[in-house]
Structure 1
Amino acid sequence: MKQDVTQRRSTLATLAGLLPFMAPYRKRFLLAAIALLVAAGATLAIPVAFRQLIDLGFVSDVTGAGARHINFYFLALFGVACVLAVATAARFYLVSWLGERVTADLRSAVYAHVVTQSPQFFETTRSGEVLSRLTADTTLIQAVVGTSISMALRNALLFAGGMTMLFITSVKLSSIILVTLLAVVLPIVLFGRRVRKLSRQSQDRIADASALAGEMLNAVGIVQAYTHEAQEARRFGAAVEDAFQTALRRIRARSLLTVVAILLVFGAIVFVLWLGAHAVIEGTMSAGQLGQFILYATIVAGAIAALSEVLGEAQRAAGATERLLELLAEQSPIRSPDQPVAPGSCSAGGAALQLREVGFHYPSRPQSPSIAALSVDIAPGETVAIVGPSGAGKTTLFQLLLRFYDPQQGSILLNGVDIRRLDLHALRGAIGIVPQDTVVFSANAMDNIRYGRDGASDADVIAAARMAAAHEFIERMPEGYHTFLGDRGVRLSGGQRQRIAIARALLKNPPLLLLDEATSALDAESERLVQGALETAMQNRTTLVIAHRLATVQRADRILVMEHGRLVETGTHAELVARGGLYAGLAALQFNLG
């Protein structure tokens, strides 16, 4: 994150980052500006009407011309009020619409950008923090775009128009009030900077609390199993208290900013009005002029007070905008090339795969290689099992094949083409995966399986479910394939979730299939059914299998044995057992071949 750079930017410069999201709605902003100008003009016309009422109505003969003046100016005043009401309502509708629209676009843009980031991004950024930026931060921006900008422009117009009319009414008094009001600017600027810094800190603390809550709620079963409910509640309470204390410092700073601004502004106005009252007594100013001056001074004072309040909101929004723009500025190191080449054609038996001296270490662990000098050729249609102790680099290899990461050394070729030269969607579209940690979405069974291929027919989905031995248990559910599976598939057993994931991969029908312990959560009967389905699927594609089950490994055409990221043995099950190496030891421990 580029916090040290963005924190030095001014509030306006930071908020200017929202302009690309506002630009498509120029016409609505123009209409809102017109409504704003009309409303401000109507507001500035009210003191003139009051001056005429006082000087030509009340002060003059109320039985003759004065009475007619009173009638006319009261009607005029009501007409101004009508214009003000309509213009204000139009402004409110337009700016509220813009606030909602721009916020929705911003949320969509941030989310669409985040989901393209590589796993490296999520190693350093917690999902709870991202969610906080998508919700709390965008809500602050919505308030600024939908309210604060309009209020700022309105009060800026009222301030400028009010000051102009003050000078027209009395140059002497206006000059005095202008000099005194200039003294307000310095404390507002100084306090505004502190408010902005505290606003950024407040949003960060809220994000920390959200991230902690999200992490614990996703692991609530473990929390309860280890009876850590009270400890986790205290941790979250401490995070919330930290956020509260940070917010309290921001509130104090804003409160001090408000009281200083209002005291200085109204102190200056009271002083100038005292001078004006003496001018009326001395006969150098009419009562109507003084009344007009008082109203315009009130408008100017109210505008300054409102601007100080809006400035506080803008400071908070600037902090939120910084955080969102940081997300949008993040560039994934894994991207499609500018000019991707077409993937090589797959044979009827699947994809060809070659690894050439591949070396890789995770960015967070640069001193610990996960893959070292790995070279393998896998023929189309071949089924290759990958075994080895924990930490051998098996799952890392799958992540490299999917280009979640790029190797620091060597290259990976799919059908003779380096996968870094392929379009990411084309590459991943050619690969199906069943991960060890199965993912089931908060949707029904039909949609969960159809996730493997958008637009697949119901018949195709059901056929894939049959192949994965999932059709029978799905049919027994209350609404069959349209049964909601719950958050993360909580209504299913582990084996059922895994069969859903297998059906999803089979529906995709890719030339290269990656199975990471695809049958680890299945009981013996379900495993027998799924093994038969997987064997059928393997006949038509290249398959890489990470497995510890003897049945899967024995059926592989070849077994690769990895240790500490290196390929240490290769051969069939019988060859490796006879060789008496690492695989034979693993077989004796894990496959009961002692």
Structure 2
Amino acid sequence: MARSPKTSDEDRARSRDVGALKALWPFLAPYKGIMALAIAALVLTACVSLALPLAVRRVVDNFEIDTGTLLDRYFAVALAMAALLALGTAARYYLVTRLGERVVTDIRKAVFARMVGMSPAFYERIMTGEVLSRITTDTTLILSVIGSSASVALRNLLILVGGLVLLLLTSAKLTGLVLLIVPAIIVPIVVLGRRLRELSRENQDWIAASSGNASETLLSVQTVQAYSHEARSRARFNEVTEKSFAAARRRIGTRALMTAIVIFLIFAGIVGVLWIGARDVNAGAMTVGALVQFVIYAVMVAGAVGALTEIWGELQRAAGATERLVELLNAEDSLPEPAQPRPLPEARGEIAFEDVSFSYPSRPDVSALDHVSVTIRPGETVALVGPSGAGKTTMIQLLLRFWEPATGRVLLDGIDLREMSRPDFRRQMALVPQDPVIFADTARENIRFGRPDASDEEVEAAARAAAAHEFLMALPQGYDSQVGERGVMLSGGQKQRIAIARAILRDAPVLLLDEATSALDAESERLVQRAVDRLATGRTTLIVAHRLATVKKADRILVFEGGRIVAEGSHEDLVAGGGLYARLARLQFTDGMAEAAE
């Protein structure tokens, strides 16, 4: 099924005017100087444009009176005005375009900074591709407004107002007739403009949905191809993209209709006014120069109205884009930072879960953890074992405060995580996730991600400790080899060893290993296990594992089932005590060896 964009009544109610563009002011305010210069250049070009018809009238009315010095002077002044107009236009273009690029850059940085700090719960409600679409496509629309449309709109507004004043001074009678058609022009602009903005927002929503669908599919392209799902994926993408096109077609049709109505009304009115003006010239009520001046101003005013009509459509689209970006900037994080975070002294690594219960938002009726209480002493190595879905990884997730307990508390060195800044306490932890994340960079920089200020020697030492040095040196450029997006150039075991090297380099007092050796072959697992054993010395270590061979040396083993701790103790004690752990051990060791013997 194609994912439908949000079309709530509240969203559509907001989509009735361009007031949303006011949200751009905080990004424009730091550049008031550039704005002032741009407006000055804009006013200059508008004034020069409005002065040109006056020169034309002088030339026309004095053409038969004086063909010498006076005409030369008029043409010289006209040439100087053209030069001034060219310089002013160039200055306006440079200033507003630069302003637009600067503001959009700031918006993109602000949105990304906000999004990169949002908790996982936020990304259960919105696809990553939609966020990327807003950062790219929507900011491009805003760039077109700030860098072009806004200044053109202001210039045409000045020409419209100034032109109407000069029309009135040229001929009050003809100007009155022109003004009679203004209400007829405004009505379709207002009525169709509202509809245009709703369609513009809908179009942008579908574009975002299309981007989200494409991002999700392409990030999982190997799985898509492995299951021969290409045709269905194409069909899903085509469905969403066609809906985007349909929305765009309705928007374009509405805008074309509005443009046709406005242009016809404008020029029909001008033709009628010119007909009356020509009769006044024949009757001697006005000069030919005055009629020419009036015609030029009328055309300028009509052109300004037409341009404003076009720009209104752009403003409608940009307002919708601004709303969508503001939604991201104002998005509420379900895990707010404390107003006055408590400082964390040098971490000792004591971890405590006090009566913690938790359910994932997507599965509110299923308890991932059910009244779990446990204390892990500084420097202790504790293994979390049990069947899939028992709550082991959830413990790691809550300890990193990716999620918030429904009840109870999670403490580090006696301080509730909710009372500390997330970056502060996370710096005291090193994580090796079950699915290691590798960035599209060099192998060296992927390891250095654990501690950005680490030297090359420290990076290589961490790689040696994680049994990664040999395969890294075998790459075409060694440590400086590009590993591809999400590490596509590496095997699963190689990616896991880089992730372990990253954790070793971080050198944090708390070490979190979530199936850290699950993708390793037997030899690499033995080497990495030795590295982990050395690394765990003097550190608080939590090990999530399905393979019990990797946790036999743990100081304590916690056995999870159904979100509860059903047993704890050493490997020998748990095997002797029977129960779930003994059954798992028998399946992995005794039965496994029997199957191998067969």
TM-score, scaled to structure 1: 0.97
Q: Shift of the alpha carbon at 1:73?
A: 1.1
Corresponding residue to 1:363 among 361, 364, 367: 361
> Is 1:39 paired with 2:45?
yes
Given candidates 515, 518, 522, the residue that maps to 1:517 is 515
1:8 aligns to 2:16 (yes or no): no
Task: Write out per-residue CA displacement over residues 241-277 of structure 1, whole angstroms, 9 at most, x where no aligned residue.
Answer: 1111110000001101111111111111111111111
Does the 8 Å contact 1:155/1:306 carry over to 2?
A: yes
- Deviation string, structure 1 residues 21-79 (Cα, Å, up to 9, x no partner): 1111110010000000010011001100110011012xx23xxx333222111111111
Distance, in Å, in 2 between the alignment partners of 1:98 and 1:514 is 46
State the partner residue of 1:122: 123
Find the aligned partners of 1:282 and 1:591 in 2 and give their Cα distance: 114
Match for residue 596 of structure 2?
none
Task: Give 5+ residue unaligned stretches, structure 2.
Answer: 1-5, 593-598
How do residues 200-211 of structure 1 correspond to structure 2 at under 5 angstroms? 200-211=201-212
**In structure 2, distance between residues paired with 1:109 and 1:368:** 36
Deviates more, 1:334-343 or 1:477-486: 334-343
Residues 373-430 of structure 1 deviation map (CA, whole Å, 9 limit, x = unaligned): 1000111111111011111111111110000111011111111111111111111001
SS of alignment partner, residue 321 of structure 1: helix
Give matches, 1:271-290, under 5 Å: 271-290=272-291
Given residue 353 of structure 1, which amino acid in structure 2 is its aligned partner? I
Distance 1:415 1:469 in 2: 32
Indicate which of 560, 576, 579 corresponds to 2:577.
579
2:396–2:512 Cα contact (<8 Å) kept: yes
Q: Distance in 2 between matches of 1:183 and 1:160?
A: 18
The whole-number CA distance in structure 2 between the counterparts of 1:491 and 1:386 is 32
Deviation at 1:230, TM superposition (A): 1.9
Provide the secondary structure at the position in 2 that maps to 1:342: coil
For the residues of structure 2 that align with 1:590 and 1:78, how far apart are their CA atoms? 93
Displacement of 1:589: 2.6
- Say which of 5, 16, 20 aligns to 2:26: 20
Looking at structure 2, the residues matched to 374 and 472 of structure 1 have their Cα atoms a distance apart, in angstroms, of 42
* Cα offset, 1:106, TM superposition: 0.6
Corresponding residue for 1:545?
A: 543
- Deviation of 1:340 after TM superposition, in Å, equals 1.3
* Conserved 8 A contact 1:335-1:424: no
CA contact (8 A) 1:356 1:376 kept: yes
Conserved? CA contact 2:7–2:202, under 8 Å: no
Q: Separation in 1 of the partners of 2:251 and 2:486?
A: 38
After superposition, the C-alpha distances for 1:489-535 in whole angstroms (9 at most, x for unaligned) are 11111000000000001111111111000000000110010000000
Q: 1:514 touches 1:545 (CA, 8 Å); kept in 2?
A: yes
* Higher mean C-alpha displacement, 567-576 vs 138-147: 567-576
Equivalent residue letter for 2:322: T
Q: Distance in 2 between matches of 1:272 and 1:569?
A: 94
1:484 pairs with one of 476, 482, 485: 482
Q: Tell me if the contact between 2:267 and 2:302 (Cα under 8 Å) persists in the aligned partners.
A: yes
Q: By how many angstroms is 1:6 displaced?
A: 4.7
> Which residue in the other structure is 1:467 paired with?
465
AA aligned opposite 2:457: A
Answer yes or no: is the 8 Å Cα contact 2:18–2:316 preserved in 1. no
Identity of aligned residues (%): 52
Partner of 2:176: 175
Task: Report the Cα distance in structure 2 between the residues aligned to 1:53 and 1:242, rounded to whole angstroms.
Answer: 57
Q: What amino acid is the match of 2:27? A: F
* Runs of 5+ consecutive residues of structure 1 not aligned to the other structure: none
Corresponding residue SS for 2:374: strand
- Could you tell me how far apart the structure 2 residues matched to 1:482 and 1:209 are? 36
- Could you list the per-position Cα deviations for residues 289-339 of structure 1 after superposition, in whole angstroms to 9, with x for gaps in the alignment? 000000000000000000000000111111111111100110212232111
In structure 1, the partner of 2:200 is 199
Cα offset, 1:592, TM superposition: 4.2
Q: Kindly report which structure 2 residues correspond to 1:557-568, keeping only aligned pairs within 5 A, or say none.
A: 557-568=555-566
1:270 and 1:12 mapped to 2: Cα distance? 33
Whole-angstrom distance in 2 between the partners of 1:512 and 1:68: 91
Task: Map residues 314-463 of structure 1 onto 2, 5 A cutoff.
Answer: 314-347=315-348, 351-463=349-461
User: Is the CA contact 1:11–1:314 (under 8 Å) kept in the aligned structure 2?
Assistant: no
Q: Does the Cα contact within 8 Å between 1:358 and 1:372 map onto a contact in 2?
A: yes
CA contact (8 A) 1:387 1:547 kept: yes
Task: Find the partner of 1:29 among 22, 35, 53.
Answer: 35
Displacement after TM superposition at 1:345 (Å): 3.8
Kindly report which structure 2 residues correspond to 1:199-348, keeping only aligned pairs within 5 A, or say none: 199-347=200-348
Q: Which residue of 1 aligns with 2:553?
A: 555
**Count of residue correspondences:** 586
Aligned counterparts of 1:81 and 1:11: Cα–Cα separation in 2:
37
Q: TM-score, normalised to structure 2's length?
A: 0.96
2 CA distance for matches of 1:307 and 1:577? Answer: 80
Give the AA of the match of 1:27: G
RMSD: 1.3
Taking the aligned partners of 2:362 and 2:19, their CA distance within structure 1 comes to 34
Q: CA separation in 1, counterparts of 2:282 and 2:80?
A: 33
Q: CA deviation at 1:2?
A: 10
Write the deviation string for residues 332-383 of structure 1: whole angstroms up to 9, x where unpaired.
1223211111224434xxx111111011112232222211110001111111
| Residue 88 of structure 1: how far off its partner (Å) | 0.4
Is 2:57 the counterpart of 1:51? Answer: yes
Amino acid at match of 1:403: R
